[in-house]
Amino acid sequence: MIDAVSARLPAMLEDVTRIIECESPSDDHAAIARSAELVTQVLGARLAGAGLPAEPERLVIDGVTHLRWRLGGPTRVLLLGHHDTVWPHGSLATHPCAIRDGVLTGPGCFDMAIGLVQAVHACAVLAEREGADALAGVTILVTGDEEIGSLTSRALLEDEARDAAAVLVLEASGPGGALKTERKGTGMYTVTTHGRAAHAGLEPEAGINAGLELAHQLQAVAAFDGTGDGTTVVPTSGRIGSTSNTVPAQASFDIDVRARSGAELDRIDASIHALAPVLDGARVSISGGVNRRPLEHAQARDLFARATRLAAAAGIASLDECAVGGASDGNFTAALGVPTLDGLGGVGGGAHADSEHVEVAHVPHRTALLALLVRDILGDA
């Protein structure tokens, strides 16, 4: 298996370069549509070359384009990834895609262009060795809004995963190539404070300062941080008022919540929704809630054991597991009770950062491991 995959490495690097160079920031629907067409063209050609369906279903939900390749029959193994990135337009000018000294760089290379390429080439090599029918039961789902909470794709991926035997998530690996067997759950909130506008110079006493109320609420929210094992509650972006000479009538800030258990997420959710105003006459409103339930170890344990057993055949001497604070679409599928293994994508580091990179030497081994896992799971199913 590893020899067959290694022979494909030049093609894999060609494919990932083309995907990286098609910028796909999550908040630009037109860019996501262009990316979907490019991903279809690049990856579809590899599937077609192995006798598999080249054309995916293009699923446009609220303007966001997602892709689904069903390789035959009902879904038994779901290969899950996304083609949107956190990188804004113009990032290629400062972070060009390049391969130097065995390291691939470029915006979104690690998170997660290489994972998409590995998924398709793993399927292609299986089909070439064992026939296209060997992939019956495999579905590849590539969503377009994972980086901003999967608001349009959540129901789609949950429906696709619900009856599957396993979900294999092609997100970037953990440190040293570790597979991700635990992920924190997440909450996303906006706290808005409401006051009363007044002229800041003529009669500030006639106003109710929403910015000052926001300061009280920031302190209240900050007190929730660290109150549970691994719980983080972090105020992030914010907005106050509209002009510099007006007592602000409205202000708001966003909150990022991470927790290891569903019970802890629910506790923080209740605390945020119980926030009350401090200033006389001010009001506080809360929007948002729990976004992703945790990916708990029990949902990944058996799949990780299977991967460990197969690792040597993929040329991987040892395989580690890790728990991470970041969430993925694997959180959604694990919450359904579907066995889910995450972090099967590239080995490297620097996701979302200037240092984002992929170690090319690991690409064939990770691809071979994925192919072996798919074959093994389908054999049991």
CATH of residue 246: 3.30.70.360
Band (pLDDT 50/70/90 cuts) for residue 380 is confident
Q: What gap in Å lies between CA 236 and CA 73, rounded to an integer?
A: 44
- Whole-angstrom CA distances from 182 to 331, 339, 373 are 9, 12, 19
The residues carrying an active-site annotation are: 84, 146
- Residue 51 has a pLDDT of 97
Task: Tally the domains of the chain.
Answer: 2
Task: Tell me the per-residue pLDDT of 228-252, one tens digit each, with 9 for 90 and over.
Answer: 989 999 999 999 999 999 999 999 9
351, pLDDT greater than 80:
yes
Same domain, 200 and 265: yes
Q: What is the pLDDT of residues 92-106, one digit of tens each?
A: 999 999 999 999 999
Q: Residue 84 is part of which domain span?
A: 2-184+294-380
Answer yes or no: is pLDDT of 166 > 90. yes
Asked whether residue 69 falls in the same domain as residue 91, the answer is yes
Residue 274 CB: number of other CB atoms within 10 A? 9
What confidence tier does 86 reach under pLDDT thresholds 50, 70, 90? very high
Query: CB of 254 within 8 A of CB of 192?
Result: no
Single out the residue in 292, 309, 342 at which a domain terminates: 292
Whether the link from the prior residue into 112 is cis, omega within 30° of 0, is yes
Report the alpha-carbon distance of residue 95 to residue 98 in Å, rounded.
Answer: 9
179 & 72 share domain? yes
pLDDT for 103: 98
User: Which of 267, 292, 317 is a domain's end point?
Assistant: 292
Q: Are residues 269 and 243 in the same domain?
A: yes
* 202 vs 245: CA distance, rounded Å: 10
In the predicted model, is pLDDT for residue 43 greater than 80? Answer: yes
Predicted local distance difference test score (pLDDT) of residue 1: 87
CA 263 to chain centre: 22
Say how far apart CA 377 and CA 381 lie, in whole Å: 6
For residue 381, what pLDDT band results from cuts at 50, 70 and 90? low
pLDDT > 90: percent of the chain: 98
Residue 112 DSSP label: I
Same domain flag for 137 and 8: yes
State whether residue 291 is helix, strand or coil. Answer: strand
Average pLDDT for residues 133-150, to the nearest whole number? 96
- Tell me how far apart the terminal alpha carbons of the chain are, to the nearest angstrom: 21
Residue 303 structure tokens: 């799949």
Whether residue 356 sits in one domain with residue 279: no
Final residue before a domain boundary, out of 292, 318, 346: 292
CA separation for the pair 340, 97 (Å, rounded): 31
